[in-house]
Chains A and B, each alone.
Chain A
């Protein structure tokens, strides 16, 4: 019976990534304030540059687990012309860790090589269909979404078998097709502002 149950589950298995921004569609523009310096950053897709937009936050252990990896990736790929935007969409009224002040403190202490933007009404996260932190989106120079999902398939370096984000960036930089365009983004659910 147990084996039968497992087999039935397998037959039902298929990837399911509903309600997220569809790969190949135009990425939403946004204008958000950087918690680090108070300056406004306007992301305008289709300006010829590859961009990484990722949703993260201060409180999620899984987002924190990927923090060093994202810093490492950003430092490597910024040198190759890729732009990175970290966005915190969590409701700071319900979760005090997510205030601009605490965001600035984290970005400064960790030495973020990218702006750490506050999505104050969670509207940008909604526009992208982001569900969790971390949730990563790669946009090509024409403003089209080319990858969405996880950074890697494991936060444990020794168990990492798929590197979704860097594979996508390497492909776009080399003008090749992105090998995996959508992956399962695990993480903490976004605490949307209602």
Chain B
């Protein structure tokens, strides 16, 4: 089954232009590989540079990730590839944006099918969406739409308490 052979599809592609880590992924099953293995709570944020609320909340995500250190692993999933055009240019744009925002957590540059992603993450296509999982991949929480920094930090703090 195609979805069970994901990891060969990962290509690390940290841009020479910046420090942001951008990982190209085609298969949704490979998304989880970007999480830090030791983290108790894993937070996935689906976003794009063309999405206004996504851009607005990126600094909040960076702050949320920094708040918890190694206990929480944040991974962004960029859908910038959905806009037709030169893929390399688009990736550079994403990296430049992440660098400007000083984003330290890894980001995925998703180049796979949109239906497959929506089915896999069980969302309807509207971004941003943020989903938290435990170490075993069980969903703990999700937020459709723009995050509130303090509320999200409070929520993750509770999730950490549950996952000890």
Interface residues of A (CB under 8 A from B): 1-2, 4-10, 12-18, 20, 60-62, 65, 131-132, 150, 153-157, 159, 161-162, 183-189, 191
Contact = CB atoms under 8 A, between A and B. Distances in A.
A4 B136 contact: yes
A15 B121 CA distance: 9
B122 A8 contact: no
Contacts of B83: 61-62, 65, 155
Interface residues of B, number: 40
18 contacts: A4-B136, A5-B136, A5-B137, A6-B32, A7-B137, A9-B29, A9-B32, A9-B121, A10-B120, A12-B139, A13-B119, A62-B82, A65-B84, A131-B124, A132-B126, A153-B113, A155-B83, A191-B52
- Chain A interface helix/strand/loop/mixed: loop
A187 B79 CA distance: 10
A16 B7 CA distance: 26
Contact of A185 (B31, B33, B125): B125
Point out which of A7, A62, A186 has the most chain B C-beta atoms below 10 A from its C-beta.
A186
A13 to B, nearest CB: 5
Q: Which 3 pairs from chain A and chain B are nearest by CB?
A: A8-B137, A5-B137, A184-B118
Interface in B126-148: 126-127, 133, 135-139, 145
B13 interface: no
Contacts of A7: 137
A182 B79 CA distance: 21
Given A8-B137, A154-B114, A184 B124 contact: yes
B70 interface: no
B33 A154 contact: no
A150 to B, nearest CB: 7
A183 B115 contact: yes
Contacts of B35: 2, 5
A179 to B, nearest CB: 14
